[in-house]
Amino acid sequence: MTSDTIHLTVDLGERSYPIIIGSGLLSDAALLQQHIGDGQVLVVSNETIAPIYLDALLKNTGAKDTIILPDGEQYKQMGTIETIFDSLMEKRHNRSTTLVALGGGVVGDMTGFAAASYQRGVKFVQIPTTLLAQVDSSVGGKTGINHPRGKNMIGAFHQPVAVIIDTQTLSTLPPREFQAGLAEVIKYGLICDADFFVWLENNIEKLMNRDGEALRYAIARSCENKAKVVAADEREGGIRAILNLGHTFGHAIETATQYKVWLHGEAVGFGMLMALDLSYRLGLLPITDVQRGEKLIKAAGLPITPPAGLPDVDGIIELMGMDKKVLNGQLRLVLMRAIGDAFIADDVDIKILKQTLTDYLGRSLNSALNSVLSPSA
């Protein structure tokens, strides 16, 4: 580790764990061995990440057992999880084993779910290699898989014992994946950290150019925000739901397109546009905040027009109704009163929701560009 390494803690009492953020951590044998241990270890990665980073991890931990999964959200399903269980049992792993997730959010979610389920729970360590996983999915203990009828509908809360974020892994991340991760970074500014949102407005160009200092700061600030919310509400009984800004909209789009068209962060970014617009239409959010949000999302290179082939508005609403945040049949959405002030609403006027969906699902590129300056009323 270097003097630039950042140490954070997710405060959950006896189950608290560290988040370590720095450059070159995959080469730090002492750090890796400290958190992974010297017992049985199964490293789970995918066919994209393994050729780049797996050898270094094995060399610096002494781990021998690995399983390489196919890459893509469409593989985040029960059949893939069963291959992890098969590997654990074939190699006779017991309750003292540690699973290590080396990859993005899909690898982390599935490894965590396997760890939560195998022999009723074993340890796991997150080593996220995408920006989205580093700032969001690796922290907080949400694990799971998708179902054809809904995203992340099967899973468990199971906290890692450590999150190790090597920022050097972002150097090999394709631009589209990097931009998708920025959606979750922007989310923290929108929901609970207005000062961070201003910082993002002033530094988005540095982030797009992958400036090391700016990236380290954005990752740390995002993880700090996530850790605070998780510590206050680990199992999403209340305030943690604000972390889902844009997600109910985005998950519906992902499900409608069978997880094959947009990356998760792209769907979330477009979902946040709709959440901003809906908040404005309901008289909750000033139009200037809608404009600032849309301008920043566009500057991050995220989609501002919908993908082709979506169902009609009623079809999207039906898919939104499958979301985990639905309670007693009531659709609950994360909305905003101001930048940095999000809340959970369970009494949204369906007619106004349909207006937002109609406008955004029918967007053309020209109308979207114009709306950055003048959102629809």
pLDDT above 60: residue 15: yes
Q: What is the pLDDT of residue 150?
A: 87
Q: Which of 151, 158, 216, 264 is catalytic?
A: 264
Q: What is the pLDDT of residue 366?
A: 58
Whether 158 is catalytic is: no
Whether 35 is catalytic is: no
Please state, in angstroms and as integers, the Cα–Cα distance from residue 261 to each residue in 72, 241, 307, 308, 309, following that order. 11, 26, 7, 9, 10
Q: Which of 73, 177, 236, 254 is catalytic?
A: 236
Beta strand residue intervals within 54-166, DSSP E: 65-69, 98-103, 123-128, 142-147, 150-157, 162-166
Q: Read off the pLDDT of each residue in 205-212 and give the average, rounded to a whole number.
A: 97
Q: State in Å, rounded, how far the first CA of the chain is from the last one.
A: 52
Q: Which of 93, 142, 324, 332 is catalytic?
A: 142
Q: Which of 76, 158, 187, 240 is catalytic?
A: 240
Q: What is the pLDDT of residue 155?
A: 97
Cα(196)–Cα(202) distance, integer angstroms: 10
Q: Which of 251, 281, 298, 324 is catalytic?
A: 251
- Kindly report the CATH number that applies to the domain delimited by 175-373: 1.20.1090.10
What pLDDT band is residue 377 in, cutting at 50, 70 and 90? very low
Q: Which of 14, 92, 120, 351 is catalytic?
A: 120
Q: What is the pLDDT of residue 257?
A: 95
Q: Read off the pLDDT of each residue in 338-355 and give the average, rounded to a whole number.
A: 96
Q: Which of 226, 298, 324, 363 is catalytic?
A: 226
Element (H, E) at 185: helix 175-192
Q: What is the pLDDT of residue 371?
A: 63
Q: Read off the pLDDT of each residue in 295-302 and give the average, rounded to a whole number.
A: 98
What pLDDT band is residue 237 in, cutting at 50, 70 and 90? confident
Whether 236 is catalytic is: yes
The tokens describing 113, both together, are 């779910």
Residue range(s) in the chain whose domain bears CATH number 3.40.50.1970: 6-172
Q: What is the pLDDT of residue 374?
A: 57
- Kindly report the CATH number that applies to the domain delimited by 6-172: 3.40.50.1970
pLDDT above 50: residue 176: yes
Whether 363 is catalytic is: no
Q: What is the pLDDT of residue 30?
A: 97
Beta strand residue intervals within 167-255, DSSP E: none
pLDDT above 70: residue 365: no
Percent of the chain with pLDDT over 90: 90
User: Around Cβ 98, how many Cβ atoms within 10 Å?
Assistant: 24
* Residue range 177-192, pLDDT digits in tens: 999 999 999 999 999 9
Does the pTM surpass 0.95? The reply is no
Q: What is the pLDDT of residue 323?
A: 74
Cα(137)–Cα(11) distance, integer angstroms: 17
Whether 224 is catalytic is: no
Residue range(s) in the chain whose domain bears CATH number 1.20.1090.10: 175-373
Whether 151 is catalytic is: no
Whether 247 is catalytic is: yes
Q: What is the pLDDT of residue 311?
A: 95
The chain-wide mean pLDDT, for the chain, equals 94
Q: What is the pLDDT of residue 38?
A: 87
* Residue range 306-345, pLDDT digits in tens: 999 999 999 999 999 887 666 666 899 999 999 999 999 9
Q: Which of 73, 177, 184, 266 is catalytic?
A: 184
Three-state secondary structure call for residue 222: helix
Q: Which of 247, 292, 298, 332 is catalytic?
A: 247
Percent of the chain with pLDDT over 70: 94
Three-state secondary structure call for residue 337: strand
- The tokens 């979207």 sit on which residue? 368
Whether 240 is catalytic is: yes
